Structure 1
Amino acid sequence: MQAELTLKDIYLARQRIATLAERTPLLRSESLSRRWGCEVWLKLDNLQPTGAFKLRGSVNALSGLESEQRERGVVTMSTGNFGRALAYAGQHLGIPVKVCISHLVPDNKVEALRLAGADVVIHGATQDDADTQARRLQHENGLAYISPFDDPLVIAGQGTCGLEIMEQQPEIDTVFAGLSGGGLIAGIGLAVKTINPQAQVIGVSMNEGAAMLESLSAGHPVQVGEVASLADSLGGGIGLDNTWSFAMTQRYMDRGYRVDEAQIARAMLHLFNQEKLIVEGAAAVGIAAVEQHQIDLRGRRVALVISGQNVSPKTFAQACRLAGENDHAYL
């Protein structure tokens, strides 16, 4: 029987990642606070050195490797941001990193992976295909496989984001974050709910290919089809042999929402127009969920995790066009 992660693991992770990952700002959004009738704060993890929250878990996972494994190196699959973070951390820690991605990963993220020092392997049409290739390389080359989400050290590292939120604004009672493989929600949920058990932790996925939400509905991990989305970093499955993130998401996430592409586009444009932030679709899904589902947040203290800024000009232009084709009065 595996041991459960605790808040202590997140504190230990914070010590390990301090030299490479930033303690990011939590800034009040005047525009959203007025619109929703509550206090809204933006957790700006787009300001991490690699442009996304994934650096937290990557550094913690690599720091936990034995010296022999550090020499042989590691392999992962990624939609872009985790691989980039792992490669960045690997360069600083002297650990070779191989990253398997699918053909769905945008060109800007592929180039960023290579610039970060990753040995990039493009394989298959989905992240499940890329994961199969990563597992193959793990066994063929004696590499350590690091999951972007289903790994206790990764989850503890991502949990430092939730710990910072509660330290920066202890009265936060609602946290929105993107939901993909569940590593971010699991880590944030553990931190936030250990500190304030009454707090609400809300995950948001795109309409199609929401693997974790489908799995939670089924009561066990399931496979889903993967489609292109403005929130491309939320794509991919959770693994049928999921060990950590599925159970922790079940335990710590209070509600999950799906959002359509038009709402994601509108939210991205809002963050650009009102907050002067250029972000990925996955970073804007919290706003999209509140708007699309008309969630009543009056009187609450809300944190939105702005998870990353690694959006290509092509994708951002697509979001602007899509938002322009729809009613976007709230912008």
Structure 2
Amino acid sequence: MANLPVTLAEIEQAARRIKGRVLETPFVLSAALTERCGVPVGLKLEHHQTTGSFKLRGATNAVLSLSPEARARGVVAASTGNHGRALAHAAKAEGAIATICMSRLVPENKVSEIRRLGANVRIIGKSQDEAQVEVDRLVAEDGLVMVPPFDHPAVVAGQGTLGLEIVAAMPDVATVLVPLSGGGLAAGVAAAVKGRSPRTRVIGLTMERGAAMKASLDAGHPVEVEEVESLADSLGGGIGLANEVTFQMCRALLDDVILLSEAEIAAGMRHAYREEREVVEGAGAVGIAALLSGRLGRLDGPVAVILSGRNVDMGQHLRVANGGDAA
């Protein structure tokens, strides 16, 4: 781990930097999942975070790491929604202006919330990669400072603070289930968890359709995938062909990656609502979905599940909660 782009010491420093600016979210035991799985199952309720997802940790750490001069130029990022919301909030708290570039696949509820926080919004193309082209232009031509949604050491370190809280709440945790997209959360959590508890397994979870990190890990290098609609829309987007941080860390630290169908993700959302009384978006439900599906096989100790976000279109959530078709 000493040779990886983000260290345990940097994650611990991030925890001190963002303290008081983000919530230390609850960690609760799920009676229903514990009974079903035969081992203690704890839920890290990160969807209770101020902006509705874990992304506030990384965005806040990244903004606070900038010089006052850099913050004054304004920050910019491509986002599938939750990072944009977090960066808009973190920038506003420090008196900076955020510009968020998103594709047309980002749900309107996420776009409108980013606008409400005072950020400039640009809708570009049909993928996060196309939105990133606009980000690069704004950096080159207007001098804005890019704060990427995942492939940035300060962002990864900020997300890793969540892993520190998990180990503190469940010191004997055997398995941590973490949503996997561009790898910022998975890389940071894995570095923190394995830094504190080396024997703990960390498993990345994502959707079957358009899983860029899984395809890249299988190929041995970053690759592009087609971005398609999914209940787990926050897990969409590529990892960047020039990825410098998260691909290396996920390859080194993740013990496994599991793909989930749309029906399985929908089942996770329904369980979260009906049994745990929690509203989570598809990306936030993948840990529960993996447990319900039985894809993890035999569990040999306590499990921690990250419920990463709640920023779901409520019409979609109502349809899924009532047993509607996952599509």
TM range (shorter): over 0.9
1:171-320 residue pairs with structure 2 within 5 A?
A: 171-320=172-321
User: What amino acid sits opposite 2:64 in the alignment?
Assistant: S
Report what 1:43 is aligned to.
Answer: 44
Counterparts of 1:83 and 1:325 in 2: how far apart (Å)? 29
Shift of 1:132: 1.0
Report what 2:19 is aligned to.
Answer: 18
Shift of 1:153: 0.2
SS at match of 2:96: coil
Report what 1:29 is aligned to.
Answer: 30
Counterparts of 1:193 and 1:184 in 2: how far apart (Å)? 14
Report what 1:127 is aligned to.
Answer: 128
Report what 2:77 is aligned to.
Answer: 76
User: What amino acid sits opposite 2:186 in the alignment?
Assistant: I
User: What amino acid sits opposite 2:15 in the alignment?
Assistant: R
Shift of 1:299: 4.0
RMSD of aligned residue pairs (Cα, Å): 1.3
1:10-62 per-position Cα deviation (integer Å, ceiling 9, x unaligned): 11101111121111111000000000111000001111110000000000000
Counterparts of 2:204 and 2:102 in 1: how far apart (Å)? 24
Contact persistence 2:56–2:86 (CA under 8 A)? yes
Shift of 1:313: 1.3
1:218-267 per-position Cα deviation (integer Å, ceiling 9, x unaligned): 00000000001110000000000000000000011000011011111111
Task: Check if 1:142 corresponds to 2:117.
Answer: no
Between 1:285-294 and 1:113-122, the stretch displaced more is 285-294
- Give the unaligned 5+ runs of structure 2: none
Counterparts of 1:173 and 1:59 in 2: how far apart (Å)? 29
% identical equivalent positions: 47
Contact persistence 2:273–2:321 (CA under 8 A)? no
Query: Please, what TM-score do these two structures have when normalized by structure 2?
Result: 0.96
User: What amino acid sits opposite 2:141 in the alignment?
Assistant: E
Contact persistence 1:37–1:297 (CA under 8 A)? no
SS at match of 1:275: coil
- Give the unaligned 5+ runs of structure 1: 327-331
Counterparts of 1:202 and 1:325 in 2: how far apart (Å)? 27
Alignment length (residue pairs) = 324
1:92-144 per-position Cα deviation (integer Å, ceiling 9, x unaligned): 11111000000000010011101112111000011111111111111111011
Contact persistence 2:174–2:300 (CA under 8 A)? no
Report what 2:164 is aligned to.
Answer: 163
Shift of 1:73: 0.7
Shift of 1:5: 1.8
User: What amino acid sits opposite 1:137 in the alignment?
Assistant: L
Contact persistence 1:102–1:123 (CA under 8 A)? yes
Report what 2:110 is aligned to.
Answer: 109
User: What amino acid sits opposite 1:68 in the alignment?
Assistant: E
1:269-327 per-position Cα deviation (integer Å, ceiling 9, x unaligned): 00000110011000111121233343234441000000011111122134235x4559x
SS at match of 1:284: helix
SS at match of 1:203: strand
SS at match of 2:303: strand
User: What amino acid sits opposite 2:14 in the alignment?
Assistant: A
Counterparts of 1:64 and 1:295 in 2: how far apart (Å)? 38
Query: Please, what TM-score do these two structures have when normalized by structure 1?
Result: 0.95
Between 1:204-213 and 1:289-298, the stretch displaced more is 289-298
User: What amino acid sits opposite 2:137 in the alignment?
Assistant: R
SS at match of 1:242: coil
Shift of 1:196: 1.2
Counterparts of 1:230 and 1:224 in 2: how far apart (Å)? 17
**Runs of 4+ displaced beyond 3 Å:** 323-326
